Amino acid sequence: IHLNYRTNLPQLLLDTNPSLHLSGPGAAFAKIAAFGPIPARLPVNGFGSTADPTSTSGATISFSNPPPPLGSTVDPATQTCGLSPPFCTKSRYRSIDGNCNNLQRPSWGMPQTPYGRLALYNYADGISALTRARSGRPLPNARDISLTLFPDRQLVDPIWNLNTQQWGQILAHDMSLTAGVVQSHRDPVTCCDDNGRLTADVTTNPVCAPLLIPPNDPVHSPQGTQCMNFVRTGTTRDRGCTAPNAPAEPISTVTAFMDLSLVYGSSLGQSDPIRARRGGRLLTTVRSGREWPPQDPNITITCESAQSPNEPCYLAGDIRVNQNPQLTVLQVMLLREHNRIADTLAQYNPHWNDEVLYQEARRIHIAEIQHINYYEYLPILLGFENMVKNKLIYPGAPSYINDYNPGVDPSILDEHATAAFRHFHTLIRGYLKLVSENRDLQAAVRMSDWFNRPLLLELDNTFDSLARGLTVQKQSYSDQFWDAEVTQFLFKRNNTFGGDLRATDIQRGRDHGLGSYIATRAACGLPAPKSFHDMLDFISQENVAVLQSMYESPDDVELVVAGSLERLVPGALAGPTFLCILTEQFYRTRVGDRYFYENGADPDTAFTPSQLQAIRKGASMARILCDNGDAIRAMQPRAFELISPQNKLVPCNQLPFIDLTLWQDVRGHF
Ligand code: HEM
């Protein structure tokens, strides 16, 4: 990690006025606030009292309600807008669906609630129609923008390996999932059929917004392809949760919290079938002496690329688990990590029952991953100094960081999920290396041959080879060049060509009515360009010229597009606008989570000081890979970084680990 970052990030945005965060049916979720830079961020502790976040004492809130049964949660029907229980009781453990994390706003961060917003909605009709140019004409063709501004050029990252890219997708899936987006199989709504022809639905079904193929498309035009399928996101409006003329708010269907919902599920309906109900474990299937996730009973739908009903097709806490092989490798690692922790706790605490073991293992696991995310992974993307400066991390803190702020809404910002974090699709490599234990290249597989087909992981020793490949292969550079595997061949199934992820991201931004590039810069407190020329402060002359040739007006320029063209802030992997959004998001994700692992304000939910130190000392990406591979014996200590003389391979048993004896419950009170 580089220590000498200088960023030009503006002061972070923080809305600490709770009245701006009304929740409840109907008027719920209106989170558009008068944003502007604040002179200095005051950490707010407890209920509005400012306090030193590093202090070890915190106000304890007492509640008269009896504690709920362990793991109690509410399982919302999918067609709600986030149903929280009528009242909250304090629990030592997070609920599965995040309800009552915030005791005053129980639905904050729950599945089926809308994304948050920094900038105003920008729908063409002010309510729900896809964004258009100011003139009322359509915006430039999304596929055309992808072809023109985001071509394939294989520039690779000199420092960070493919694991950095891949872990990003894990984190993305932990935090949000656009309602109605299916990545595991064909969408039941066909606006554009498998042959690339527009269907009758296009004119009749309001959720259809297919991507049209421009006549000059070098890949698809010669095939006679007219379109790619695109189905609009489910919103509060579709579900009757917003007033008729209020803007439709796109919904996310997983918990917003960094709580490993992708492992445990975001509802009881998801978490129940994947629990073993024995020893606190998650369910696994043993094949070839190794543990794999349970089989998805709907293989023909979930893993449509499978060529036999007997092929593996995994069931996990997240429906996207089978989407691409490397994502699945990390999902399997996380499943095994839970069981490893549960098994160890069971040894130390034979008197704990299944429920206690499950919840305690889940709690430690989430803490471990939060630590890896904030102290090992995010500094690569956001810049270490930037994170310190904006109070996202406290390196070297001797004890708790009591910065939980119940006035901060942990919802995932639409600007984050639909624009800024998706920028890291640029890091994807289309060919995945398989690497042996002595780090020799064995083979490479083409990603598009293995979308939604996890069979690959179970062939011979491919699981470990893929995992080692993640740590040896360079990720693609954070730039405007995208790998053709995801811009020409996405989910190609048995066809020659497939979808375009970049064009899809652009269309999704329009579908969600994201504020323009200029409006978002303004919302971030960055200088708002008044002309194309003004954009030269962050974007190269060449790219500004292309923007000017494609868009009618600078006000029409889109966040998804221009944000990805900005020069990187030194020390970070994003330009100033995306960095602002990412920093704001991960600040909210931290201080808006009552269960954040460094928070010690409430003794009922806090780790002991020594447990916290053990997590800080022992949690690492390297350890996750070592402990949960089939037979990975050595790893570089900084597993997001390429192997180098400063980051040499070491035997796994020389890496620090979390000392779980600290969870030996001598009092036996569970
Ligand atoms: C490895 C290959 C990857 C593939 C094939 C992939 C594919 C996709 C697809 C198909 C979508 C939904 C598009 C839509 O219909 O709107 C999506 C959404 C998204 N992706 Fe990726 N992705 C990959 C990696 C990543 C990485 C590395 C990151 C970030 C570091 C990331 C972040 C996101 C985010 C934030 C979303 C939106 C999540 C939401 O629904 O709220 N993805 N991706």
Give the per-residue SS3 of 92-140. Answer: CCCCCCCCCCCCCCCCCCCCCEECECCCCCCCCCCCCCCCCCCCCCCCC
Cα–Cα dist 214/144, whole Å: 6
DSSP string, 397-448: --S------TTS--PPBHIIIIIIGGGGGGG--SEEEEE-TT--EEEEEEGG
Determine the average pLDDT of the residues in 92-108. Answer: 97
DSSP string, 373-391: IIIIIHHHHH-HHHHHHTT
For residue 320, the CA-to-ligand 1 centroid distance in Å is 10
Determine the average pLDDT of the residues in 185-205. Answer: 88
Cα first-last separation, the chain: 41
Dihedral angle of Cα 653, 658, 664, 670, to the nearest 10 degrees: -130
pLDDT at residue 306 in the model: 86
Cα–Cα dist 215/490, whole Å: 20
Per-residue pLDDT at 542 exceeds 80: yes
Q: Say if ligand 1 is within 6 A of residue 528 CB.
A: no
Q: Say if ligand 1 is within 6 A of residue 182 CB.
A: no
Relative to the CA of 423, which ligand 1 atom is closest? Answer: 29
Q: Say if ligand 1 is within 6 A of residue 486 CB.
A: yes
Relative to the CA of 451, which ligand 1 atom is closest? Answer: 5
Relative to the CA of 166, which ligand 1 atom is closest? Answer: 27
Q: What percent of the chain has pLDDT over 90?
A: 79
Q: Output DSSP code: residue 251.
A: E
Cα–Cα dist 24/570, whole Å: 42
SS (H, E, C) 60-88: CCCCCCCCCCCCCCCCCCCCCCCCCCCCC
Q: Please name the residues in contact with 669: beta carbons below 8 A apart, sequence gap of 6 or more.
A: none
- Sign (positive or negative) of CA dihedral 583, 544, 555, 153: negative
For residue 72, the CA-to-ligand 1 centroid distance in Å is 31
In 3D space, the residue among 355, 419, 412, 397 whose CA is nearest the CA of residue 52 turns out to be 397
For the chain, give percent helix, strand, coil, nearest 5: 35, 10, 55
For residue 181, the CA-to-ligand 1 centroid distance in Å is 11
Give the model confidence (pLDDT) of 543-591 as tens digits.
999 999 999 999 999 999 999 999 999 999 999 999 999 999 999 999 9
Most informative mutation of 112, 164, 422, 492 for ligand 1 (most atoms within 8 A of CB): 422
pLDDT at residue 526 in the model: 98
Cα–Cα dist 535/411, whole Å: 30
Determine the average pLDDT of the residues in 456-483. Answer: 97
* 371 annotated active-site: no
Q: Please name the residues in contact with 17: beta carbons below 8 A apart, sequence gap of 6 or more.
A: 33, 407
Q: Output DSSP code: residue 285.
A: E
Q: Please name the residues in contact with 310: beta carbons below 8 A apart, sequence gap of 6 or more.
A: none
Q: Please name the residues in contact with 507: beta carbons below 8 A apart, sequence gap of 6 or more.
A: 130, 142, 209, 211, 230
Q: Say if ligand 1 is within 6 A of residue 428 CB.
A: yes
Per-residue pLDDT at 178 exceeds 80: yes
Instruction: For residue 109, give both structure tokens.
Output: 């961060």
Relative to the CA of 507, which ligand 1 atom is closest? Answer: 16
Instruction: For residue 321, give both structure tokens.
Output: 């688990």
Per-residue pLDDT at 120 exceeds 70: yes
pLDDT at residue 78 in the model: 54
Q: Is 373 exposed, middle or buried (0-12, 13-18, 19+ CB in 10 A)?
A: buried
Confidence of residue 481 (pLDDT cuts 50, 70, 90): very high
- Given a contact cutoff of 8 angstroms between Cβ atoms, the answer to whether 336 and 464 are in contact is no
Vertex 356: Cα angle to 354 and 358 (nearest 5): 65
For residue 279, the CA-to-ligand 1 centroid distance in Å is 34
Q: Please name the residues in contact with 69: beta carbons below 8 A apart, sequence gap of 6 or more.
A: none
Nearest CA to ligand 1 atom 37: 417
pLDDT at residue 497 in the model: 79
Q: Say if ligand 1 is within 6 A of residue 510 CB.
A: no
SS (H, E, C) 562-631: HHCCECCCCCCCCCHHHHHHHHHHHHHHHHCCCCCCCCCCCCCCCCCHHHHHHHHHHCCHHHHHHHHCCC
Backbone torsions φ then ψ of 379, nearest 5 degrees: -55, -25
pLDDT at residue 666 in the model: 72
Specify the residue for token string 């990545």: 183
Q: Say if ligand 1 is within 6 A of residue 228 CB.
A: no
Relative to the CA of 486, which ligand 1 atom is closest? Answer: 5
Q: Say if ligand 1 is within 6 A of residue 509 CB.
A: no
Q: What percent of the chain has pLDDT over 70?
A: 87
Q: Say if ligand 1 is within 6 A of residue 421 CB.
A: yes
Relative to the CA of 230, which ligand 1 atom is closest? Answer: 15
Instruction: For residue 380, give both structure tokens.
Output: 């690569």
For residue 425, the CA-to-ligand 1 centroid distance in Å is 7
Q: Say if ligand 1 is within 6 A of residue 477 CB.
A: no
For residue 182, the CA-to-ligand 1 centroid distance in Å is 11
Cα–Cα dist 10/118, whole Å: 15
For residue 125, the CA-to-ligand 1 centroid distance in Å is 28
Most informative mutation of 182, 501, 505, 564 for ligand 1 (most atoms within 8 A of CB): 501
Nearest CA to ligand 1 atom 35: 417
For residue 491, the CA-to-ligand 1 centroid distance in Å is 13
Nearest CA to ligand 1 atom 28: 169
Determine the average pLDDT of the residues in 32-54. Answer: 28
Cα–Cα dist 98/73, whole Å: 8
Q: Say if ligand 1 is within 6 A of residue 450 CB.
A: no
Most informative mutation of 169, 232, 475, 482 for ligand 1 (most atoms within 8 A of CB): 169
Please indicate if the annotation marks 365 as binding a ligand: no
Q: Say if ligand 1 is within 6 A of residue 476 CB.
A: no
Please state at what angle helix 501-511 crosses helix 142-149, rounded to 10 degrees.
Answer: 130
Nearest CA to ligand 1 atom 42: 169
Confidence of residue 668 (pLDDT cuts 50, 70, 90): low
- Given a contact cutoff of 8 angstroms between Cβ atoms, the answer to whether 212 and 144 are in contact is no
- Considering only residues 544 and 73, tell me which one the structure prediction assigns the higher pLDDT: 544
Confidence of residue 491 (pLDDT cuts 50, 70, 90): confident
Cα–Cα dist 177/173, whole Å: 7
Relative to the CA of 168, which ligand 1 atom is closest? Answer: 30
Give the model confidence (pLDDT) of 310-357 as tens digits.
999 999 999 999 999 999 999 999 999 999 999 999 999 999 999 999
For residue 351, the CA-to-ligand 1 centroid distance in Å is 42
- By mean pLDDT, which of 8-17, 81-90, 320-329, 461-470 is the weakest? 8-17
Confidence of residue 385 (pLDDT cuts 50, 70, 90): very high
For residue 232, the CA-to-ligand 1 centroid distance in Å is 16
Q: Say if ligand 1 is within 6 A of residue 424 CB.
A: yes
Q: Say if ligand 1 is within 6 A of residue 183 CB.
A: yes
pLDDT at residue 670 in the model: 55
Q: Say if ligand 1 is within 6 A of residue 466 CB.
A: no
Residue 544 has a CB neighbour count (10 Å cut-off) of 23
Per-residue pLDDT at 186 exceeds 90: no
Catalytic residue among 2, 21, 173, 512: 173
Nearest CA to ligand 1 atom 8: 501
Cα–Cα dist 82/557, whole Å: 33
Relative to the CA of 252, which ligand 1 atom is closest? Answer: 41
Per-residue pLDDT at 596 exceeds 70: yes
